[in-house]
Structure formats: C-alpha cells, structure tokens
A and B are shown apart, each in its own frame.
Chain A
Amino acid sequence: MSRTYVIGSYCFAGDQLTNLYALNTYFNNTLNNWSVYYDETGSAYTPSGSNQFYVKVFETSNVNSVGAQMDFGYAQTSPGLNATSAPSTMQYFGAGSAGILLHAKDTAGSTALVNVNYIMPNGNYLIGHDDGLSQFGTMAYGYEGS
C-alpha cells in the first residue's frame, strides 16, 4: 500500500512524496525579469545538505490578460523578486533564454502547465524568467534527492 500525489502528469510516491516541495514565486508587469522560487517558509529555495532538486512540473496562473513567455533555470545566487538582470551564473533549462519553455495563456485566471524532468544541482537557486509584460503567480513542483 502506498500514498501517491499526482501533479500534472507526474505521480509522486515513496521518498519522492516525502520530500516533495511546492515552490512559488511571481512576476509583475515588468518586461524581462527574473524571480527566484520560494519555499513554504518564504525563503528562497536551495536544496538542503548535499541534495539535488528534481523538477517535474512548472505551472503558471495569470493575473492579467497578457501572455507570459517563460524560461526556467538556476544560478548560484538568488535574484530575489523581479530582478531586471539575470544572475551571472544563470544556467537555463532547455533551449535558452528566449522565453520559449512555457507560454502562459493571455486570459486572466487561466493556467498553463508543463511537465519536465530537470535536475537542479546542489548549491543553486531555482529561477524563472519572463520576457513579457504579464503578471502571474507560478508554482514549481519537485523533490529533493541525493
């Protein structure tokens, strides 16, 4: 018998469920900005001990009616909320920084979700990048592991 939690198309179970993190950040109406993801305590998230973070789902929920074009990645320093420049060590997941990993819908209240299978190394912060003028909340779901 086992407990499970399905988020997006991913089923967390066992140690993955025990170590599940629901991270959150937001973007305001600024063109081209970077925000770090926060844990439930309000701290900029970085994996504990020597762990890595295994990212499975990114999700956005729009506040205004402007589509968001998002990238995700990580860096060794936290940019905080809505920084206007990327950290110097920024490493993008996927194709890069053109805002092409996830396109959020352009209707207020709408959501968009992408399932991924990325690894953020220990000693880094998870970061979102928005290259549009959208305002939205965003969640990242994944688990810590060695």
Chain B
Amino acid sequence: MTDIVTGGGGGGGAGGVGSTRSLTKNGYVFIGDQLTNLKTLTTYMSSAVNNWSSFYDDTGTAYTPSGSNIYNIKSFEINVGNTWGGTMNLDLSYADTSPGLNSGSAPSTIQYYGHGSAGILRSTGVNAGDEAVLKVNWTLPNGKYLIASDNIATNAALFAYGYESSS
C-alpha cells in the first residue's frame, strides 16, 4: 500500500517514508512517470479578433514534444485579462508549425480538437480575473505545436497541463 499525498488546488506534496509524490491539478492525479514528465505550458491571447498563439514551455520555447514523444493533455486553464461585453470563445488545436503569439492567421496544417473552429469549445467569463477550467484527455502528436485561438476580442492567459510519454 502506497500513500498518495496531494495538496489542495494546484499544490502537490511529498510524503514521508514509503510515500509517493503526486500532484493533483484540476482533478487529475499526476504520479510516477506522469509527474516526472509533467509539462506546464503557457500562452497569451491579445485583444484581437481571430488570433492564434502557440503554447510555450518553461524555457520560453514554443512547445513540441521531445524525441519521439507525444504530449498527453489533461486540462486547460483560462484566465481572462480584460472586462468587456462578451466572452472569450476558445478553440484548441495543433499544427506542423508554430504561429508564435497572436498571429492573425492559422497555420496551414491546423487540426482542431473537438467540433472545429467556431470558437466555442469553451467560453470564459466576462470580467477581468475570471477563470475557467476545461478538462480533457487529448493527445498532441510528436512533431506538432499546441495552439490556442479565439474569435473574439478578449485578452487572456492560458495554461495547459499534461505529460510527455512514448505512446
């Protein structure tokens, strides 16, 4: 029997002798190899209608899985930066190339998760500081870049939580 010690919210914890480190984030328990290979990615959407942004790793590099690995995405967090009369309509996707930050056009090879590109995979709040969490169980293939896009003029910070693995 192994103890799993978890912190509240985004926190994690280390147990004593015989215990295992874990991190509970947005309902998902990362443990073992999934915790060792956990990647927290971030990006930013400006107040432009219709823009596309890559997710970046902790070194400031547009993220693509290393080696021949894939990235297993478990959740996204959205934090709204401004207050205005509408919501942010978010789509998530991947492509062969990185669009950088707030590109005005989608990469030619873009592949959307879910229903497509209408911009309402998840809508966020209308006030600065509003937060939303989208739970998923999706895969970013090797050689691809993870991308967020919106079709409305909200600015926001976004986070992706997942881990790399060989399959």
Contact = CB atoms under 8 A, between A and B. Distances in A.
Interface residues of B, number: 36
Contacts of A35: 115
B132 A81 contact: no
A28 B89 CA distance: 13
Given A1-B31, A63-B123, A40 B136 contact: yes
A25 B137 contact: no
Interface string A96-139: 00000000000011110000000000000000000000011101
Interface residues of A, number: 33
Nearest to B1: A1
Chain A interface, DSSP helix/strand/loop, else mixed: strand
Interface in B100-148: 111-116, 118, 120-126, 130, 132, 134-139
B34 to A, nearest CB: 7
A21 B137 contact: yes
Interface of B: 2, 4, 20, 27-32, 34, 74, 86-87, 89, 111-116, 118, 120-126, 130, 132, 134-139
